[in-house]
Amino acid sequence: MNYSVTVAEAAENDIRQAFLWYEDQKENLGTIFQEHINKAIDSIHNNPLKVQIRYSNTRVYFLNKFPFGIHFQVNETQILIVAAFHTSQNPKLWSTR
pLDDT tens track for 63-84: 999 999 999 999 999 999 999 9
Q: Domains of the chain, with CATH numbers?
A: 4-86 (3.30.2310.20)
Give the predicted TM-score (pTM) of the model: 0.88
pLDDT tens track for 2-59: 899 999 999 999 999 999 999 999 999 999 999 999 999 999 999 999 999 998 899 9
Neighbouring C-alpha atoms within 13 Å toward the C-beta of 75: 3
C-alpha span between 33 and 22 (Å, rounded) = 8
Closest CA to 82 of 72, 91, 92, 74: 72
